Structure formats: C-alpha cells, structure tokens
Structure 1
C-alpha cells in the first residue's frame, strides 16, 4: 500500500499541514509562491524534520516526533522528480535509469533489463546509449521519469516537472505522466502552477496558502467551485469573502452586502463566486436590477479571445481584484482605461454563495 498520512508542524516556516492521500491517488498541490508547497514535499521526503507530527506511507510510519522515529530519505520509498532532470552527466541514459536498481543491490543484467523496460514505458528506449548532454529538455525529463520509476517508489514526488520545458515538450510529458501515474494507479504528489497539470494528471487537489491547506477535494470540485482566492484566480472566477448575514445575503469585511444563491447559516464564513462574463460595466451606478453593484477602479485590461477582461484594483480586504469580460465595442463606447472608476454589476442569480475554507 502507498497511501499517505501526514500531520506535521514546522514552526520555522510557519507550516502546519494535514494531508491524506489514498493508495493510487495523484494529488496536485496548488498555491502562490512562498505558500509552503515545497516544504510539504520536503516533509514527505524526509528532507525536513517537523517540530511535531507524524508521516506514514502505507502501513509504515516514517516520521513520529513523539516516539523519535525518523526514517532517512533514501529508506522511505520516495522518489523525487524536480524541475530539472538532474541526470548524471558522465553516464549514458541506460545507466542513469539503472542506477536506482543497482543501488538496491540488483545485478548488472537485471538492472539493465529494468532500465530498458522503463525507457520503453516512457518512449525513450531509442535514447539508451546517449549522454544527457545529447538530449533535449523534453527527452531529459522523460528519462528522469524513467529513472524515478525504476526505483519502484511507493510515492512519487513531482516538483513542477513541466516548468522548465518549452510549449511543445510540456504536453507530451503531461500525457506521459497521466499514463504512468493515473492509468497504473501510482500514488504521487505533484506541485504545480499550471491548471492543465492538475486537470490532466491529478485526481485530487489541495490549495496551500501561508503554510496551511485551505482547500481540498476532487479536481473538478475545487476548480469549478473554488473557495480560496488563489483557486478562484486560477479557475478564472471572481471571489468575495465575508460572513452570512441571512439566507442569500453575504456581508463583506468592508460593509457591502452581496446577494446570491445558497442556503448557509447566518454567521458562517462564506464566499461569493461569479464569473467575469456575468458582470456588466457601467460608468454611473445603476439603480434598477441587478442587485449587486460594486465600485471598482480599473487596474488593467487584457484581450481574452473575442473579449476584453477588465481587472479591478485589489478588494478592500486585500483579496485579488474583481474581473469583468466585455466586448471591444463596449470598451470603446465607455472609453474604459486603467485608473477609471466604474461600477461592476451582477445579478443575484449569477452569484453562488458557498462555505469558506475558514469555516
């Protein structure tokens, strides 16, 4: 079994994680820079020792601060795939992949057979006799995947494996990882900034902010109904935080009332979600329907396909600014420019009210 159970605190990095992953699941870890994603990987791998907590892989406890258990990284059954392939430059591709089996005591012929099998699995068998310097970035990462899997890890850790690849190599590696992880039911934890990685490869997502897991669930649930500012920004929806005042009404920290759909108990932390396409932009405050009207100062404008996305300045509580998608004609008619104060209006039935991660 390769399930993961982690409950660990590291005061120096202000990190406090509680993560559970079932056998065969692929977890995507999302979050802004500095949120603690790499710290989570290091705690799993044994590169960091928590101040208190436990880490278990399958039925094996590899970290337990109370009993003093701390299994070193090389004995945890964990393999890491980083942004760079980090292949041994003096070895051929085949010997790079055979390195892990040889390190476990396998004979040369058996290790070479394992290397051949894994190179075939990642469609890199024809590269076996090359040196790393003779490989493209995409080829090197394929070989790195084969080398990691040749170690027969119980859990594979991936630290933004596609980030250093060009736009032509990344889709190919993404498909490969989906096949070897999801189709073979291999347990993996993948840190990524790319929404496509999560959608294509992962079965479960967590969002990390300030050293805490603020959101978790199946990929579709998190990315279609996000509850955190980062996930909402990644999914391209607007999010406003607040507290439920009464059914269908959320009060923000700065005193605004947001009307929407959602039966949540009064006093509970909640978020309002709506798409940029549901927003209309006005130069003067509208007084008829819709019911939600928010004053916004335009911060920037970008072309998105056939529309122009208007982004407002940060919300009064510091959350990312709201966005509206309008036509180029509307931009010209209203003479919209950064720095202009406008009104975003959205109908109540376009707004979903959901429990907040804080709850």
Structure 2
C-alpha cells in the first residue's frame, strides 16, 4: 500500500501542513511561487526534516519527531522526477534505468531486462544506448521517468516535470504520464504551474498558499467552484471575498453586497464566483435590478483571445471583465479610469470560503 498521511511543521519556513493521500490517488499541488509546494514534496521524500510531525507511507512510519524516527530518503520507497532529468552523464540510457534495480542487488542481466522493460513502457527503447548528452530534453525526461519507475517506488513525486520542455514535447510526456499513473494506479504528488497537468493527470487538486493547504477537492470541483484566490485565478474566474448574510448574499469588508445563488449559512466566510465573460463595463453606475455593481479602477487591459481583458481593482482585490474590442473603443477605456463592473445575480455563485 502507498497511502500517505502527513502532519508536519517547519518553523523556519513557516510551513504547517496536514495532508492525506489515498492509495493510487494522484494529487496536483498548485500555488504561487514560494508558497511551499516543493517543500511539501521534500517532507514526503525525506529531504526535509520537520520540527514536529509524523509522516507515514503505507504502514511504515518514515518520520515521527516525537519518537525520533527519520527514515532516510533512499529507504522510503519514493522516487522524484523534477524538471531537470539529472541522468548520470557517464552512463547510457539503459544503464541509467538499470541503476536502481542493480542497487537493490539485482544481477546485471536481470537489471538490463528490467531497464529495457521500462524503456519500452515510456516508448524509449530505441534510446537505450545513448548517453544523456545525445538526448533532447523530452527524451531525457522519458529516461528519467523510466529510471524512477524501475526503482519500484511506492510513491512518485513530480516537481514541475514538464516545465523545461518545449510546447511540442510537453504534451507527449503528459500523455505518457497519464497512461502510467492511470494504468498502474500509482500514488503521486505533482507540483505544477500548468493547469493542463492538473486536468490531464490529477484526481484531486490541493492549493498551497503561505505554507498552508488552503483548498482541496476533486479537480472538476476546484476549477468550477474555486474557494481561494489562487484557484480562482487558475480557473479563470472572478472571486470576491466576504461573509454570507441572512438574505443569501455576500457582504464585503468594503461595504459592497453581492447577490447570487448561495449555499452558505449566514455569517460564514464566503466567496462569490463569476466568469469574466459575464461582466459588463459601464462608465456610470446603473440602477437596474437584479444586478451587482462593483466600482473598480482599471489597472490594465490586454488582448485575451477574441476579446479584450479589462483588469480592475476594488479594495485591493483584482477583478476581470472580458469585453469586445468595439466596447473598449466605444467607452474609450484606458488604465486609471474609474468604471463599474456589472454582473447579473444569476451569473454569481456564492460558496463557503476555504479554511
């Protein structure tokens, strides 16, 4: 079994994590730079010691500060694949992949058989006799993946594995990873900045901010009803923070009331979520009902597909409207202008905020 249970705190880095991963579950870890995503992987891998905490993989306790247990990285049954393949430069691809089974005491011939099996699994058998210097970035990552799998890990940790690949190579490795993770039911944690990785590979999304897990849920739920600012940004929707009121609306700290479809009890922290395409821009405050009227200052404008994305701020919070180029011209919009973002109440969903 490869279930993970982790409770860990690292005071110097302001990290305080609690995470459970089921056997065979694939979790995408998302969050801004410096949030602590890679540190979370390092805690599982045994590359970072917590000040306090307990980590188990399967039935094995690999870290327990109270009992002074700390299993070294090489003995945890964990394999890591990062954006740098880190292949041994003096060994060919086959020998690189055979390294792990040979380290376990497997004989030379058997090690070669295992290596070729995994090279075939990642569609790289034809690269067996090449040195790392003879491989492209995508080819090197395939070999690195085969090497990781040949180690027979209980848990696979993927730290931005496609970040250094070009736009043509990344989809190939993504499809390969999807096949490996799904068909073999591998337990995996994937740190990524790419929404496509989460959509293609993960069962669950975890959002990390400031050294804490602030949101967790099925991939489709997080992307359709985000409850944290970062998740809203990656999902491409607007999110307004506030508290639910007795009318089923949301009240912000800046005195605004946002109306929508609410599932949140009165007084609870809540978020209002709506699409940029549902927002209209007005120069003067409209009074028609039922509408939400949000005064904003335009911060920037840029082309976004077939529309112009107007980015505004209200009370330190960023909001976005997608409008036509004709509307931008007609309203003569420009950064620094004070305008009104208007969205119909039926376009707004109000959810409990992340804890």
Give yes or no for TM over 0.5: yes
Tell me the distance in 1 between the aligned counterparts of 2:276 and 2:40.
Answer: 33
Structure-to-structure mapping, 1:210-289, within 5 angstroms? 210-289=210-289
Q: Displacement of 1:290 after TM fit?
A: 4.1
Q: 321, 326, 338: which is aligned to 2:323? A: 326
Q: Displacement of 1:298 after TM fit?
A: 1.1
Tell me the distance in 1 between the aligned counterparts of 2:302 and 2:96.
Answer: 45
1:84 partner SS: coil
1:322 partner SS: strand
Which position in structure 2 is the counterpart of 1:340? 337
Tell me the distance in 1 between the aligned counterparts of 2:281 and 2:289.
Answer: 13
Deviations 1:48-102 (A, max 9, x none): 1111111110111101111111101000000110111011111101000001111
- 8 Å Cα contact 1:26/1:202 also seen in 2: yes
Which position in structure 1 is the counterpart of 2:311? 311
Tell me the distance in 1 between the aligned counterparts of 2:148 and 2:236.
Answer: 34
Tell me the distance in 2 between the aligned counterparts of 1:228 and 1:323.
Answer: 16
Which position in structure 2 is the counterpart of 1:171? 171
Greater shift, 170-179 or 337-346, is seen at: 337-346
Deviations 1:1-57 (A, max 9, x none): 011111111111111111111111111000000101011001000111111111110
Which position in structure 1 is the counterpart of 2:54? 54
Tell me the distance in 2 between the aligned counterparts of 1:34 and 1:246.
Answer: 38
Q: Displacement of 1:263 after TM fit?
A: 3.5
Q: Displacement of 1:309 after TM fit?
A: 1.0
Report the aligned-residue RMSD: 0.9
Tell me the distance in 1 between the aligned counterparts of 2:308 and 2:183.
Answer: 39
- 8 Å Cα contact 2:248/2:266 also seen in 1: no
2:180 partner SS: helix
In structure 1, runs of 5+ residues without a counterpart are none
Q: Residue 63 and residue 100 in structure 1: after superposition, are their counterparts in 2 closer, same or farther (change >3 A)?
A: same
Tell me the distance in 1 between the aligned counterparts of 2:181 and 2:241.
Answer: 36
Q: Displacement of 1:304 after TM fit?
A: 1.9
Structure-to-structure mapping, 1:71-220, within 5 angstroms? 71-220=71-220
Tell me the distance in 1 between the aligned counterparts of 2:206 and 2:264.
Answer: 23
Q: Displacement of 1:204 after TM fit?
A: 0.8
Tell me the distance in 2 between the aligned counterparts of 1:263 and 1:172.
Answer: 41
The answer on 1:6 being equivalent to 2:3 is no
Tell me the distance in 2 between the aligned counterparts of 1:291 and 1:220.
Answer: 28
Q: Displacement of 1:297 after TM fit?
A: 1.1
In structure 2, runs of 5+ residues without a counterpart are none
Poorly superposed stretches of 4+, deviation over 4 Å: none
Q: Displacement of 1:308 after TM fit?
A: 1.0
